[in-house]
């Protein structure tokens, strides 16, 4: 026999997962005790459940495996909901375990009681409450399967604390019907011959095809990306990446045309609308890449969309689809290698890539009499950072400089929340360091988002990790101020910030920190940050007028 809480750790170990993230709670002490005995799994305790959830989400993005998040009932689960929602919208596999109130108190509005299946069903692939200890192995394996099948995402399991204390048979942990091995293939309709014949016919008729890549990072491996990029290059089919999925392909390839995100290149928007065939692979074509569901034509136009996704129902495309291919992305890429296509679209490719080059290399048309030129600084980063460096970013206008001016050449280098969650940068950088402590990681945060999770620098220090955090400080919620000035000029309300001394704050957490005072010192400070054996914070004071890569807030206020 084995305690149910210890059994959960054994099952997690069977999936080869090395780290889980939590804020400890008395409702799951038995699981924590099981982690004490593990030689292969470490439970990382953080300073806030929101930070733990972001670390877990980033960890899963980089490993391609489901991550583990453990929180206590009530406030703990509520705090964690931001990272669970991020996992849901980013299609990131995650298994969330909540220590629940004892069975005898369920339904009485007991201390910290919440109906967790009701709470999390809208932002998770599935949510269960397990009240029978003997069924814990069944639901754990089911959670891993659901989290990874089709469109990946979070699965939430709440378990009453008294259930975790019960003994269950040791031989029940591995069930034949639910193998511990993470499913690598979808059981859904594959890329069969008739569908690929239809795709070949559409390509044969196309004059301006465009491929758009996106979706879960677990869809894409280095091998898969290489195969697809070689095929697209061979056919001279241009490709774009979805919002905050720029690392899916090598931006230096001659058929890359840019990112479909916020602050889109206006020329790219026109280019996409000229395409007569859109091959969407992995992406949901959601609100951000579709520019508020306005970028793609109606069914009556001559633009046709081919939608390739392992879970079409879960992806919920908002546009009329000409051809749906429901299959694992890996299956599609392998079959696509042999789809007969006679045409090539060299001139169309050249046109798109030239638009990208002009946009990505243009060091901003906003001229300020003073302050730092962030465009130039990010172009510098592009030249000096090693190819394996992971970049994470928070939500906010400041992230636009990285999206516009930084190139990625391989997958799983960009960690950025497509749900726009603030507070992501610091914990995601720490999560990346747990995956590979030797790999350089830089997290970019605005001053607003930084203070939402800055306390996790203490977690990094406690576990001997050295993430490098760059804080863009303009003393305001910049994105909201931009919209506020556009709609209500010179009526500033609830967007100004009076910040603490970020350098002193970082020092209090045991981090090295410095405030940039001259642009010429930027590169030496970056090099110093990458060499630091402790967490390192570089604060960059910004003028409030420098609101985006192509807009001066001061001009908009005139």
> Any idea which of 164-173, 280-289, 336-345, 397-406 has the lowest mean pLDDT?
397-406
Give the model's pLDDT for residue 130: 98
Closest to 97 measured CA to CA, from 17, 168, 172, 171? 17
Task: Name the band, by pLDDT with cuts 50, 70 and 90, for residue 243.
Answer: very high
The CATH architecture assigned to 193-353 reads 3-Layer(aba) Sandwich (3.40)
Q: Provide the mean pLDDT of the chain.
A: 91
Mean pLDDT across 470-492: 93
The answer, yes or no, to whether residue 380 has pLDDT greater than 90, is no
What is the distance between the alpha carbons of residues 34 and 15, in angstroms, rounded to a whole number? 16
For 483, other C-beta atoms within 10 Å of its C-beta total: 12
What is the distance between the alpha carbons of residues 354 and 357, in angstroms, rounded to a whole number? 5
Task: Name the band, by pLDDT with cuts 50, 70 and 90, for residue 285.
Answer: very high
Give the model's pLDDT for residue 372: 86
Mean pLDDT across 51-62: 98
What is the distance between the alpha carbons of residues 395 and 417, in angstroms, rounded to a whole number? 7
pLDDT in tens, 537-546: 999 999 887 7
Instruction: Report residue 427 as tokens.
Output: 């914990």
Task: Name the band, by pLDDT with cuts 50, 70 and 90, for residue 175.
Answer: low
- Using the 8-state DSSP alphabet, how is residue 11 labeled? H
> Any idea which of 47-61, 81-95, 298-312 has the lowest mean pLDDT?
298-312
Instruction: Output helix, strand, coil percentages for the chain, rounded to the nearest 5.
Output: 40, 20, 40
Mean pLDDT across 476-490: 92
> Any idea which of 48-57, 216-225, 230-239 has the lowest mean pLDDT?
216-225
What is the distance between the alpha carbons of residues 302 and 408, in angstroms, rounded to a whole number? 33
What is the distance between the alpha carbons of residues 100 and 51, in angstroms, rounded to a whole number? 21
Mean pLDDT across 490-519: 96
The residue ranges of every structural domain in the chain are 2-172, 193-353, 362-556
Half-sphere CA count of 452, side-chain side, radius 13 A? 24
Mean pLDDT across 353-363: 83
Closest to 474 measured CA to CA, from 362, 346, 371? 371
The answer, yes or no, to whether residue 383 has pLDDT greater than 90, is no
Mean pLDDT across 172-176: 70
Give the model's pLDDT for residue 382: 85
Give the model's pLDDT for residue 166: 97
Mean pLDDT across 87-116: 96
Say if strands 239-242 and 209-213 run parallel, antiparallel, or are unpaired.
parallel
What is the distance between the alpha carbons of residues 511 and 508, in angstroms, rounded to a whole number? 7
What is the distance between the alpha carbons of residues 101 and 542, in angstroms, rounded to a whole number? 48
The answer, yes or no, to whether residue 547 has pLDDT greater than 80, is no
Q: Do the domains 193-353 and 362-556 sit in the same CATH topology, yes or no? A: yes
- How much of the chain, in percent, has pLDDT values that exceed 70? 93
Instruction: Report residue 341 as tokens.
Output: 């296509």
**Tokens 């620098």 — which residue?**
457
Residue predicted with more confidence, 142 or 369: 142
> Any idea which of 300-309, 320-329, 386-395 has the lowest mean pLDDT?
300-309
What are the φ/ψ torsions at residue 96 (nearest 5 degrees)?
-110, 125
The residues with which 514 forms a beta bridge, in sequence order, are 538
Give the model's pLDDT for residue 187: 37
Mean pLDDT across 496-518: 97
What is the distance between the alpha carbons of residues 246 and 415, in angstroms, rounded to a whole number? 10
Instruction: Report residue 550 as tokens.
Output: 């192509």
What is the distance between the alpha carbons of residues 127 and 129, in angstroms, rounded to a whole number? 7
Task: Name the band, by pLDDT with cuts 50, 70 and 90, for residue 183.
Answer: very low
pLDDT in tens, 10-19: 999 999 999 9
The answer, yes or no, to whether residue 294 has pLDDT greater than 80, is yes
Q: Burial letters for 362-395: b for 16+ Cβ neighbours within 10 Å, e otherwise? A: eebebeeeebbbbbebbbbbeeebeeebbbbbbb
The answer, yes or no, to whether residue 493 has pLDDT greater than 90, is yes
Residue predicted with more confidence, 473 or 402: 473
Residue 298 class from Cβ within 10 Å (0-12 exposed, 13-18 middle, 19+ buried)?
exposed
Task: Name the band, by pLDDT with cuts 50, 70 and 90, for residue 299.
Answer: low
Closest to 311 measured CA to CA, from 450, 150, 153? 150
Domain spanning 2-172: CATH 3.40.50.970: yes
> Does pTM top 0.75 for this prediction?
yes
Task: Name the band, by pLDDT with cuts 50, 70 and 90, for residue 369.
Answer: low
CATH code that applies to domain 362-556: 3.40.50.970
Confirm if 486 and 405 have CB atoms less than 8 A apart. Answer: no
Give the model's pLDDT for residue 189: 44
Confirm if 155 and 184 have CB atoms less than 8 A apart. Answer: no
The answer, yes or no, to whether residue 407 has pLDDT greater than 90, is no
Mean pLDDT across 383-412: 89
Mean pLDDT across 84-93: 97
Which stretches of 32-117 are assigned E, i.e. beta strand? Answer: 42-45, 67-72, 94-100
Mean pLDDT across 9-31: 98
């Amino acid at each position: 026999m084995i305690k149910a809480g210890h059994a959960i750790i054994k099952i997690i170990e069977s999936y080869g997962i090395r780290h889980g993230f939590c804020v400890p709670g008395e409702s799951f002490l038995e699981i924590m005790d099981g982690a004490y005995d593990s030689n292969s799994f470490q439970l990382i305790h953080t300073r806030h459940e929101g930070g733990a959830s972001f670390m877990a989400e980033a960890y899963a993005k980089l490993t391609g495996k489901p991550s583990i998040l453990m929180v206590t009932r009530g406030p703990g689960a509520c705090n964690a909901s931001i990272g669970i929602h991020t996992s849901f919208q980013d299609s990131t596999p995650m298994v969330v375990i909540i220590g629940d109130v004892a069975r005898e108190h369920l339904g009485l509005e007991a201390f910290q009681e919440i109906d967790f299946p009701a709470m999390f069903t809208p932002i998770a692939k599935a949510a269960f409450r397990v009240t029978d200890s003997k069924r814990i192995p069944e639901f754990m394996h089911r959670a891993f399967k659901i989290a990874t099948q089709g469109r990946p995402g979070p699965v939430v399991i709440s378990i009453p604390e008294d259930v975790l204390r019960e003994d269950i048979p040791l031989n029940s942990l591995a069930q034949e019907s639910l193998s511990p091995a993470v499913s690598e293939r979808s059981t859904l309709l594959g890329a069969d011959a008739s569908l690929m014949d239809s795709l070949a016919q559409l390509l044969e008729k196309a004059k301006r095809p465009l491929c758009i890549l996106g979706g879960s990072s677990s869809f894409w491996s280095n091998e898969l990306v290489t195969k697809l990029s070689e095929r697209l290059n061979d056919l001279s089919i241009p490709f774009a990446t979805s919002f905050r999925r720029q690392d899916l392909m090598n931006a230096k390839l001659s058929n890359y045309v840019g990112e479909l995100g916020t602050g889109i290149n206006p020329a790219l928007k026109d280019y996409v609308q000229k395409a007569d065939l859109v091959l969407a692979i992995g992406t949901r074509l959601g609100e951000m890449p579709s520019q508020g569901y306005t970028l793609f034509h109606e069914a009556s136009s001559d633009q046709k969309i081919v939608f390739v996704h392992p879970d079409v129902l879960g992806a919920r495309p908002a546009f009329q689809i000409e051809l749906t291919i429901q299959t694992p992305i890996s299956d599609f890429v392998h079959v696509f290698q042999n789809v007969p296509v006679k045409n090539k679209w060299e001139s169309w490719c050249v046109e798109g890539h030239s638009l990208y080059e002009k946009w990505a290399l243009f060091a901003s048309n906003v001229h300020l009499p003073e302050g730092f030129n962030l465009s130039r600084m990010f172009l510098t980063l592009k030249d000096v950072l090693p190819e394996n460096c992971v970049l994470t970013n928070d939500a906010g206008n400041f992230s636009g400089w990285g999206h516009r001016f930084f190139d990625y050449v391989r997958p799983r280098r960009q960690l950025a929340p497509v749900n726009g969650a603030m507070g992501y940068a610091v914990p995601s950088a720490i999560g990346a360091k747990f995956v590979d402590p030797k790999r350089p990681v830089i997290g970019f945060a605005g001053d607003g988002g930084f203070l939402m999770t800055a306390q996790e620098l203490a977690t990094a220090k406690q576990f001997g990790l050295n993430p490098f955090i760059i804080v863009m400080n303009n003393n305001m919620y910049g994105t909201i101020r931009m919209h506020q000035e556009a709609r209500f000029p010179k009526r500033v309300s609830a967007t100004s910030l009076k910040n603490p001394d970020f350098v002193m704050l970082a020092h209090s957490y045991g981090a090295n920190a410095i405030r940039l005072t001259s642009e010429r010192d930027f590169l030496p400070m970056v090099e110093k940050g990458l060499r630091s054996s402790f967490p390192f914070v570089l604060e960059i004071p910004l003028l409030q007028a420098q609101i985006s890569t192509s807009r001066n807030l001061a001009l908009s206020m005139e």
